[in-house]
């Protein structure tokens, strides 16, 4: 009889524990919402960002400078029998702003080809501040005869870009792999010409 009573008591305790666990599970959602509303912080989202090895969709330098606009021009040079061009010719972006532009390519030949792109920048000092998060220039691609492709370039301009740089030209040269690799296109931004020397200055210099 005592054994039966102890078993009944243990069963009741287990039922109380199970009911308590269910009640706690249902209470977690409103409790979490109440904490988020009180603190103004999404705790779960914050945990994802702080986990070691967690992937981040934004670059480390994600602060956008809305007080400044940069004109980014896009250019394409096709060294062969194919069509290669940007979807847009220029964009206005802010430093720190994540921006995406598409490039279009079509193999107009009657054979399969492998190709890759070489980027260049103008002015040259912009290169150190033009951070590409994703770019088709990172890889080689094989396209069948007549095949069309679209590839993205995702970039962020560093806030440390010199203040006197207001326009950046991103240019790509697309060439067939296995052929002679062409040099990167030269900058079209001309350096300022040195001031002309007067006759008096020339005489003084010769003396």
Instruction: Kindly tell me if the per-residue pLDDT of 111 is higher than 70.
Output: yes
pLDDT at 177: 80
Residue-wise pLDDT tens digits, 119-171: 999 999 999 999 999 998 888 888 899 999 999 999 999 999 999 999 999 99
Instruction: Kindly tell me if the per-residue pLDDT of 201 is higher than 70.
Output: no
pLDDT at 13: 77
**Does pTM top 0.75 for this prediction?**
no
Instruction: Kindly tell me if the per-residue pLDDT of 176 is higher than 60.
Output: yes
131 CB-side CA count, 13 A: 17
Q: Which of these ranges, 41-45, 58-62, 74-78, 136-140, has the smallest mean pLDDT?
A: 41-45
- Spans of all domains in the chain: 2-45, 70-176
pLDDT band, residue 4 (cuts 50/70/90):
low
Enumerate the β-bridge partners of residue 157: 130
Check residues 194 and 76 and name the one with the higher pLDDT.
Answer: 76
> Reduced to 3 DSSP states, what percent helix, strand and coil does the chain have, rounded to the nearest 5?
30, 30, 35
Domain covering 70-176: architecture: Sandwich (2.60)
The CB density around residue 136, as the number of other CB atoms within 10 Å, is: 22
Check residues 164 and 3 and name the one with the higher pLDDT.
Answer: 164
Instruction: Kindly tell me if the per-residue pLDDT of 50 is higher than 50.
Output: no
CA distance 168 to 190: 13
pLDDT at 202: 38
pLDDT at 152: 92
Structure tokens at 198: 């007067």
The CB density around residue 71, as the number of other CB atoms within 10 Å, is: 12
């Amino acid at each position: 009889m005592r054994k039966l009573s102890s078993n009944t008591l243990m069963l009741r305790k287990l039922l109380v524990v199970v009911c308590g666990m269910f009640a706690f599970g249902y209470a977690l959602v409103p409790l979490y919402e109440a904490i988020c509303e009180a603190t103004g912080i999404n705790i779960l989202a914050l945990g994802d960002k702080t986990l070691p090895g967690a992937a981040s969709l934004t670059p480390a330098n994600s602060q956008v400078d809305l007080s400044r606009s940069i004109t980014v021009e896009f250019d394409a040079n096709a060294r062969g029998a194919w069509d290669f061009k940007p979807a847009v010719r220029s964009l206005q972006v802010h430093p720190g702003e994540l921006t995406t532009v598409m490039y279009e390519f079509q193999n107009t030949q009657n054979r399969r080809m492998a190709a890759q792109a070489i980027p260049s920048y103008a002015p040259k000092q912009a290169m150190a501040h033009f951070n590409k998060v994703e770019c088709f220039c990172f890889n080689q691609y094989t396209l069948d005869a007549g095949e069309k492709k679209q590839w993205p370039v995702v970039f962020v301009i560093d806030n440390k870009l010199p203040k006197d740089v207001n326009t950046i030209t991103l240019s790509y040269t697309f060439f067939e792999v296995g052929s002679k690799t062409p040099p990167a296109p030269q900058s079209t931004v001309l350096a300022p010409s040195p001031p002309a020397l007067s006759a008096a200055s020339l005489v003084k210099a010769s003396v």
